[in-house]
Amino acid sequence: MYNWKELLGYINGEIAAMPLDRKPSELYAPIRYVLSMGGKRIRPVLMLMAYNLFKDDVTAIRSQAVAIEIYHNYTLLHDDLMDRADMRRGMPTVHRKWNDNAAVLSGDSMLVMAYRFMQRGCPEGRLDEVMELFTETALEIGEGQQYDIEFETRRDVGEEEYIEMIRLKTSVLLACALKMGACLAGAPGEDADLLYRFGECLGLAFQLQDDYLDVYGDPAVFGKKIGGDILCNKKTYMLINAFCRAQGEEREALQSWIDKKEGTFRPEEKIAAVTSLYDKMGIRELCDEKIRFYFEQACRILDEVRLPQERKKPLWDMAQSLLNRKF
């Protein structure tokens, strides 16, 4: 059995060795750029771990593991374009470094490449199932991104639909990675489905923690500036619940901070004020509980997978360290 670090090293080696030498080079340069930015490679590692629950030769599915990482990076590329984000992992985004058209077209080719790697070297008899799962997941992720865009201009987003949005936008890809690893290993369908649900819950916990850390993370280790979501009024789990709960004065205070025009206040002022409102309203505890709820649900589901505990240790460890991150 391999641990995260070993599998991460393996995946990074595979990605670095990818031949990206087709012409025209201007089309493939942004793809090389995006794939060389690094990242935690969570999805391919989860896929290899799920495979490794049932089979030892993880190299047999290296192509599918690379595929899911290419796919994930394509979504980041196009999402950054749609969100007009300037930076990703400390580097300029593709549409900033090149231009919008390069971001559209190189992203499109990455999606096609993801399908190529999904298909190539797919273990005998598994291709249909793999394609079906991958395609359904890709459609759902597009749906999640659409909801995310729509939520930006809505004032009445509820907790339930927010959870459904992050499930589609984030969780289903972790779930897909895990289930696909199991399917590729020829695991029983029930176990593959359990791993899918484990990934869903883990993804929800992970995304809610992202919301939480933006407010309550340790600035020394968080990597990004604390309070970024507050400053741009991003509809996070925190803000949505604050809105649902706020009454009277609290509601007025929250609304007035949201409506304030940029430049009419110091950023720290808004961050401190909104954080203090969250604190007063118990939003911190609410989010913390929700993270725990999904994490514990994930653990219960992984527990149901009919394998010895020690076999599942790398997955336990990875889930733990994903949720213990302060960055």
Give residues in contact with its own copies (CB under 8 A): 22-24, 26-27, 78, 81-82, 100-101, 104-105, 107-109, 111-113, 115-116, 119-120, 122, 127-128, 131-132, 135-136, 138-139, 142-143, 145-147, 149-150
135 or 320: whose CB is closer to its own copies?
A: 135
Nearer to its own copies, 37 or 82 (CB): 82
Contact residues for 116 (Cβ-Cβ < 8 A; gap 6+): 67
Q: CB 101 → its own copies: shortest distance, Å? A: 5
Query: What's the closest the beta carbon of residue 124 comes to its own copies, in angstroms?
Result: 10
- CB 189 to its own copies: min, Å: 19
Task: Please say whether the dihedral angle defined by the alpha carbons of residues 138, 139, 144 and 147, taken in this order, is positive or negative.
Answer: positive
Q: Shortest distance, CB of residue 183 to its own copies, whole angstroms? A: 15
Measured from the CB atom, is 179 or 312 closer to its own copies?
179
Name the token pair of 93. 């985004």
Token digits of residue 267: 């950023």
Question: In the bound complex, what is the minimum distance in angstroms from residue 192's beta carbon to its own copies?
Answer: 19
Please say which residue, 84 or 326, places its beta carbon nearer to its own copies.
84
Closer CB to its own copies, residue 56 or residue 132?
132
Q: Least distance in Å: CB of 145 to its own copies?
A: 6
| Minimum gap (Å) between residue 6 Cβ and its own copies | 30
In three-state secondary structure terms, 1 is coil
H/E/C letters for each residue in 9-45? HHHHHHHHCCCCCCCCHHHHHHHHHHHCCCCCCHHHH
Query: What angle (nearest 5°) sits at the alpha carbon of residue 44, between those of residues 39 and 47?
Result: 150
Taking Cα atoms as reference points, which of 218, 205, 193, 196 lies closest to residue 322? 205
d(CA 19, CA 32): 10
Given a contact cutoff of 8 angstroms between Cβ atoms, the answer to whether 144 and 94 are in contact is no
Q: What is the DSSP string of 70-106?
A: HHHHHHHHHHHHHHT--EETTEE-HHHHS-HHHHHHH
C-alpha pair distances (Å), 12 with each of 4, 17, 118, 217, 315: 12, 9, 17, 28, 19
Contact 8, 45 (CB under 8 A): yes
| 135 three-state secondary structure | helix
107 class by beta-carbon count within 10 Å (0-12 exposed, 13-18 middle, 19+ buried):
buried
| Residue nearer to its own copies on the CB measure, 107 or 181 | 107
**Cβ closest to its own copies, residue 184 vs residue 315:** 184
Q: Which is nearer to its own copies, 138 or 287 (CB)?
A: 138
Question: In whole angstroms, how close is the CB of 88 to its own copies at the nearest point?
Answer: 16
Minimal distance, residue 31 CB to its own copies, in Å: 10
Choice between 124 and 259, CB closer to its own copies: 124
